[in-house]
Structure 1
Amino acid sequence: IVAITPDGQLYARHFRTSISSHCVIQALRFFRRKIGTPLLVVWDRLNAHRSRATAAFIAAHPQDYAVAYLPAYAPELNPEEQCNALVKRAMANALPDSINDLHRLARREFGRLKRHPEMIVRFFRHAGLSVTGIA
């Protein structure tokens, strides 16, 4: 699970399982510790984002999280999708010897992207998004 910020920061929380509500909640806690609060979380319509458990967690922490959903079937509006696409392209011809090797390669590519905040800022611009400070 990846969190990106309009100023070009990237935070990743890697899981070795399909993404569930439990994973989403763990990632939210991780991002809150790393980024601070409050967080505006902009999500696609993944079931784990809309689950009862995730909704209950968000409701229990209203001072820490605000949630907005992207329209259904609109990956072009999600700058995080461009992060994933870039990492996937970089790994297109990789031949990992194991699952551990695959995870190491993914972490390495996200680490490379993290060192280029200007690209992440461009992903927000490409999606037509701008975020302004709220007093």
Structure 2
Amino acid sequence: MGFSLKPTVTRTWAPCGQTPVLVSKYRWDSVSTIGAIATTGQFLQHTHPASINGAHVLSFLSHLLRHISGSITVLLDNARIHKTKALGAFVAAEPRLSVVYFPPYAPELNPIEPVWAYVKQHVLANFCPSDLQTLRPDCPWRGGKCERLSFQGASCMELGCDPVAQESIS
């Protein structure tokens, strides 16, 4: 998920006759975040100063393996960075890790999408950071502002994906 210096403009309140004004540099500078929700409700994430690539995904999966015990099933969308040969080799070599892909064009099945929507529409709504250090998209996680979200894990069948169809990573 990308977070840019451009504000997410949302509806707000203001005294009658005083139109709210957002002052922004309106630049495209951004940072990207990759995250996961464990069935226990634990939220893990990495933030990078550039777009997420296949190497970042591998690093994040290693992070998950270090911080979550037992078997891990990772649900991924069909983004190109989630289907690299290096990722396929990593998953094949890691017995605790399995990958299940969502059907194409089905973000409504992805349990992390409401987290990104909440952060953009509520936590960072009408926020005009002056630079990337001010933006710091990891701050919402530290402030506990996402605790109100229900991070209860759903089974693969509840999510509408077929656990048997664990598409191979090419």
TM-score (norm 2): 0.66
* Partner of residue 110 from structure 1, selected from 113, 124, 141: 141
RMSD: 2.3
Is 1:79 aligned with 2:145? Answer: no
Q: 1:45-91 CA deviation, whole Å, 9 max, x = no partner?
A: 11111111111111121x12111000011011001011111111121
Which of structure 1's runs of 4+ aligned residues deviate more than 4 A?
none
* Higher relative strand content: 2
3-state SS of the aligned residue for 2:125? coil
Q: Are 1:92 and 2:122 an aligned pair?
A: no
What is the CA distance between 1:4 and its match in structure 2?
A: 0.2
1:9-28 paired onto structure 2 within 5 Å:
9-28=42-61
Q: Structure 1-normalised TM-score?
A: 0.81
1:37 to 66, 70, 83: 70
Stretches of structure 2 that go unaligned for 5 or more consecutive residues are 1-33, 161-170
Cα distance, 1:113 vs structure 2: 4.5
Letter in 2 for 1:107: D
Q: Judging changes above 3 Å, is the alpha-carbon distance between structure 1 residues 113 and 46 closer, same or farther for their aligned structure 2 residues? A: farther
Residue 3 (structure 1) aligns with: 36
CA contact (8 A) 2:76 2:100 kept: yes
1:129 counterpart residue number:
159
* Identical-residue share of aligned pairs (%): 31
- The residue number in structure 2 matching 1:133 is none
Structure 1: give runs of 5+ residues left out of the alignment: 131-135
Q: Does 1:50 align with 2:80?
A: no
Number of equivalences? 124
Larger helix share, 1 or 2: 1
Task: Give the distance between the partners of 2:145 and 2:77, measured in 1 at CA.
Answer: 22
